[in-house]
Structure 1
Amino acid sequence: MTRQLPAQASIVQFGTSRFLLGHAAAFVSASLAAGHSDQRILVVQTSSREEGKRKARALATQRHYPLHLRGRRDGRDIDEQWTIDSVADAVIADEDWDTLERHFVAHATHIVSNTADAGYVVGDDSSLAPVPASFPGKLTKLLKARHDSGAAGLTLLPCELVTDNGQRLKALVTDLARRDYPDDTAFIAWLETKCLWANTLVDRIVSAALEPVGALAEPYALWAIEDQPGLILPCQHPDVIQVDDLTPYAMRKLHLLNLSHTYLVHRWRQTGRENQLMFVREAIADPALYNDLKRVIDEEVIPSLATRLERESLERYRDEVFERFANPYLDHRLADIAENHAMKCQRRIQPVIDLAEPAGIATPGLSDAMRARDDRP
């Protein structure tokens, strides 16, 4: 027998990551408290990871958790603890699919996801499986059930750090739908015309989890969402913005902040500091690592990005990034950033090299990082 989930949990959040707990769910909580919205979140654990299942069970029991913000923003020291109460319930997809599907069909209006760098990998998965293995497979199966019920389309707000993430997710789902339901042209048309697939860009360092559930994060935050006709957001917050063009925000985030993280990991490993330095704040305080990173950013990255973006905005963002990296309160582990390192190099570093080459800009540091990317897992 399936259990009844709260009807007001119309934002279905795929993922229990500390990032989502400290970012999207925090914005929804603040919007609720300010009386700007009344939608709450259903958290869905989609993978087989025991840590995620444990957090989902904790959220289903207590439905609120602490968010600790520490650092500097706009020249002001911030040390605040908030109670996030936007989560109405949580469910583990593999264990209670029928409950999830029934709620998704009847009550969902918005979908939020953060399924990490490998979350868009489909492989040989099928939405025809009783419980598909991949996130796109699960989403396709749920959307098919919703369409077949005659319900309205949804707004999808993916938060994965993937260029054009909304359109990429749309392509994955529609491709699966064409393969698994080749004769259901109405379903394909519904996906393409009745659902809104928004490209989004997220920016906040959520450096640690709190037990049993919660997060420690920096005060800085951004959720930029590319506007399109009919787009209605599930919450209102000063750090949630609708923009005409996401490109400048995405390029700065991916190729300054995220590239800096990945390049620091490259040099951290290359210089044998893995047993000496644990956190980003320690790496940025190391003169050799800091000076090398700043040289690469100033001489290779910013000149390359300036072929597409305004240089002054790049330099302002660089200064913000370095201030955020130096936050003494955040234990942002270099080992965490090092996960999926080769994939991150390809996404974060290679496009800058591609911009530099036709402009005649030398990129010795970035090229060295690309050559070394496959040396370690």
Structure 2
Amino acid sequence: MTEQTPTRLAPEALRHLPATIQRPAYDRDRTRIGVVHLGVGAFHRAHQAVYIDDALALDPDWAICGVSLNSRDVRDALRPQKGLYTLALLGQTPQLRVIGALREVLAARDERERVLGRLSDVDVRLVTLTITEKGYCLSAGELDFEHPDIAHDLANPRAPVSAVGYLVEGLRRRKLQRLPPFTALSCDNLPDNGGKLRRAVVAFAQRLDHDLACWIAENGAFPRSMVDSITPATDDALRSRVAAELGCVDAWPVQREAYAQWVVEDAFCNGRPPLERVGVTLSNDIAGYDRAKLRLLNAPHSALAYLGSLMDIGTVAQAMATPVLARFVERLMREAIAPNVVAPRGFDAARYVDAILERFRNPAIQHRLSQIAWDGSQKIPVRLLGTIADALAAGRPIDLLCLPVAGWLQFVRRQARDGVALTDPMNEALSQVGRRATGDAAQDVEAFLGLHGVFAPLATDVRFASALRDAYAALGDGSPEAVATALASAG
């Protein structure tokens, strides 16, 4: 007896799904592609595409053409499914939802002209991007004309390979057709993402055609944005669970925590989806939201990473299940960080802290502290030292804020003692200081403060140095027991 091939997720399978599975709340056949998304990876499909899926129930003109700039994998997985895929929301009660917003999936390396055709289609009015920071081909925040992809595209502008090259060629074709430009919306987590994208696109166009560059600068739009949602990688366990619950195979489901945030600058040039009706925050202070996230979310993450690692704890959820650490982190957020955050208008810091704490406690998200601990030399200055500097300027106490910084120093010392390399661009310098550390707070802290790439200009502030020495001494030998005692006694 031959084994039957499992049914594949496809439009005709939707009506046979169990009633517990949420499915598109609109007629997909009546939708039109109005969005091109560059970088159709897991985060986009778990985040922006879900908002657009909700928006399509209100306006059918904003379905998505997803473009993979380098890989064929997503196209090959989802094209047989007509773009359908499953989102697993990870919470106390996990939920599955089939997303229908992705009407077309293209692989740019094979289908360049189809991609450019979409970018110059009159129905397409919005191009969104999740290509990671390296995809913008920047150097010191500006377009790197020496980057191989940019050099290629300048020499072959009608056959681009970079995101910037595709945007400029698409806009050039629209100008020739007397079509208005599309809005280009960066959804990558880099500061001033829209500003960086605008400058890169205009600079590239300027090298090719001065009039085109002026037309883009005068008529185009590049809103800033902020996105947030933890999106673990798809694994075989997810695929098996989805297949069992759907009763059919999904080649590439995605998963994320239930929480999601998308803040967008309301600066579009050619219409937009009804984003404000599907949970998107429209604001002209994206920098304020970025700052709040950096300080109220990312800084406590780092605190959990270093203090929790010293306590031999594995994940964020396990750290939050450790009462002494959970209490300290909540105090850190409410008493030491929130008062030093200049929040955007309408931003409720207390509710934001509540939401973050709930996210941290979510046992369905296995966010490893060891991974969050990477690149401390890059993260500590922007996540914690800026808040400390603001607190000092305002005359506020910094003792709670210094404990996670001291935790990082103790973490570096422990890794160096154990001969474990740090995942950090300053590994060599940090490890040298860590190996020389003896546990004497005055000597060790003075040596670490000598790393001016991390601590300047706070390194010369006697108030900071004193508080950091006290915090370092309180952590003792950095053992789980010493750290727990220091946290219990904090403040």
Band the TM-score falls in, shorter-chain normalisation: 0.7 to 0.9
Which structure 2 residues correspond to residues 309-324 of structure 1 after superposition, within 5 A?
313-324=348-359
Q: 2:64 touches 2:101 (CA, 8 Å); kept in 1? A: yes
Q: 2:181 touches 2:216 (CA, 8 Å); kept in 1? A: yes
User: Structure 1 residues 324 and 188, CA, compared in 2 at 3 Å: closer, same or farther?
Assistant: same
- Does the alignment pair 1:152 with 2:180? yes
Q: 1:170 touches 1:197 (CA, 8 Å); kept in 2? A: yes
By relative contact order (CA 8 Å, sep 6+), the higher-ranking structure is: 1
Deviations for 1:177-219, whole angstroms, at most 9, x for unmatched residues?
A: 23x22xx222112221211211122232323425431222222
| TM-score normalised by L of structure 2 | 0.63
Classify the secondary structure of the residue corresponding to 1:207. Answer: coil
**Equivalent of 1:224 in 263, 266, 276:** 263
**Equivalent of 2:296 in 256, 261, 265:** 256
In structure 2, distance between residues paired with 1:214 and 1:30 = 18
Q: Which residue of 2 aligns with 1:87?
A: 102
**Equivalent of 2:221 in 181, 184, 196:** 196
2:63 maps to a residue whose letter is R
Q: Deviation of residue 11 (structure 1)?
A: 0.8
1:258 maps to a residue whose letter is N
- Does the alignment pair 1:329 with 2:364? yes
Q: Which residue of 1 aligns with 2:423?
A: 376
**Equivalent of 2:285 in 236, 241, 245:** 245
Classify the secondary structure of the residue corresponding to 1:43. Answer: strand
1:193 maps to a residue whose letter is E
Q: 1:345 touches 1:369 (CA, 8 Å); kept in 2? A: no
Greater radius of gyration (CA): 2
Q: Which residue of 2 aligns with 1:74?
A: none
1:101 maps to a residue whose letter is L
Identical positions, percent: 25
- Does the alignment pair 1:301 with 2:337? yes
More strand by share: 1
**Equivalent of 2:317 in 275, 281, 291:** 281
Q: 1:144 touches 1:187 (CA, 8 Å); kept in 2? A: yes
Number of matched pairs: 354
1:15 maps to a residue whose letter is G
Gaps of 5+ in 1: 1-5, 72-76
In structure 2, distance between residues paired with 1:112 and 1:229 = 12
Q: What's the C-alpha RMSD, in Å, of the aligned pairs?
A: 3.3
Deviations for 1:75-125, whole angstroms, at most 9, x for unmatched residues?
A: xx6542111011112122233323212221225311111223444343323
Runs of 4+ in 1 over 4 A off after TM superposition: 129-134, 307-312, 333-347, 366-375
Q: 1:346 touches 1:370 (CA, 8 Å); kept in 2? A: no
Which stretch shows the higher mean deviation, 243-252 or 9-18? 243-252
Classify the secondary structure of the residue corresponding to 1:128. Answer: helix
In structure 1, distance between residues paired with 2:267 and 2:354 = 31
Which structure 2 residues correspond to residues 36-115 of structure 1 after superposition, within 5 A?
36-47=59-70, 53-62=72-81, 63-71=83-91, 78-107=93-122, 108-115=124-131
- Does the alignment pair 1:128 with 2:117? no
Q: Deviation of residue 338 (structure 1)?
A: 5.3
Classify the secondary structure of the residue corresponding to 1:10. Answer: strand
In structure 2, distance between residues paired with 1:335 and 1:228 = 39
In structure 1, distance between residues paired with 2:299 and 2:340 = 13
